[in-house]
A and B are shown apart, each in its own frame.
Chain A
Amino acid sequence: SQQGEEDPQALSIQEGENATMNCSYKTSINNLQWYRQNSGRGLVHLILIRSNEREKHSGRLRVTLDTSKKSSSLLITASRAADTASYFCATPAGGTSYGKLTFGQGTILTVHP
C-alpha cells in the first residue's frame, strides 16, 4: 500500500503562478523526499527534508513538514512551462534502515505558457 497520499491529483496553472502540492503519510518517518517525473519515465530527486526540520528551500522550491499532522507540502514559486511533470513524495518504508522508498500516488502538474 502507498505510504503517501497526495493532493491534488492534478493541478493546472498559468506560467508565473505558484503551485502547491500536499502529501500525507501514515507512519513515523525520519525524512521525506520529493521527486519529479517527466513523461512517465525516470524520477529526479528534488529535495529531502528531515523529521527535525520544518521548512526547507531549494531555488524555487519550498518544502514544509508537519510531523504532528504527518503531512508535507511542496511549493513551486513562479512556475514555468518546464515545471510540467508529475511530482511524488516518498518516505523510507517502515522499519527499514536502508533507502527502500514508498511513494505517494503523485500530483500531475501542468503549467500553461
Chain B
Amino acid sequence: GAGVSQSPSNKVTEKGKDVELRCDPISGHTALYWYRQSLGQGLEFLIYFQGNSAPDKSGLPSDRFSAERTGGSVSTLTIQRTQQEDSAVYLCASSRYRGETEQFFGPGTRLTVL
C-alpha cells in the first residue's frame, strides 16, 4: 500500500481480555516501530523491529505486552490481560532501513479498556 496501515482503528475491550493490534508497514521498509500515546505519558517508544528480529524491546511496559513481525512485513502487538492503564493510541511507524531517520506513521489504533 501507499502508507502504513493499522487495524483496527478503534478497539474497546473489557479489563482482563487479550487484544491484538496489527500494523502493515510500507512495502520494502525493513525497520518497524511501535509507539504508544496517552494523555499522561505522551508519545512513548515500545519496540523496534529490524526485519523479523526485535533488537530493542526496552519500551514494553510489562510482560503482558509482546510483539512479533513475520515475513519482514506485518507486525502484531499483543496485550494480554488488559488493564485500564493500557488505554491509549498505539502507533506503528516504518522506515526504509535501520538508521533511516524519517519515520512514516500509521493512523493508530485507539484502545479503550473498560
Surface stretch bound by B, among A15-23, A38-46, A58-66, A77-85 = A38-46
Q: How many residues of B contact A (CB 8 A)?
A: 26
Mark B residues whose CB is within 8 Å of A: 4, 31, 33, 35, 37, 42-43, 45, 48, 50, 56, 89, 91, 93, 95, 98-108
Determine if B43 and A100 form an interchain contact, defined as CB atoms under 8 angstroms apart: no
Determine if A31 and B101 form an interchain contact, defined as CB atoms under 8 angstroms apart: yes
Determine if A41 and B42 form an interchain contact, defined as CB atoms under 8 angstroms apart: no
Given contacts A2-B42, A42-B107, A44-B105, contact A99 B91 (CB under 8 A): no
7 interchain residue pairs of minimum CB distance: A103-B43, A43-B105, A42-B107, A42-B105, A98-B98, A41-B107, A45-B102
Measured between alpha carbons, how far is A85 from B50 in the docked complex, in Å? 31
Measured between alpha carbons, how far is A98 from B48 in the docked complex, in Å? 9
Measured between alpha carbons, how far is A1 from B107 in the docked complex, in Å? 24
Q: Which of chain A's residues have a CB closer than 8 A to the CB of B33?
A: 99-101
- Rounded to whole Å, the gap between the CB of A19 and the closest CB of chain B is 21
Residues facing B in A25-84 (CB within 8 A) are 31, 33, 35, 40-45, 48
Determine if B42 and A43 form an interchain contact, defined as CB atoms under 8 angstroms apart: no
A to B CB contacts below 8 Å, 14 in the list: A2-B42, A40-B108, A41-B89, A42-B108, A43-B93, A45-B103, A48-B101, A88-B43, A98-B48, A98-B50, A99-B48, A99-B103, A100-B45, A106-B43
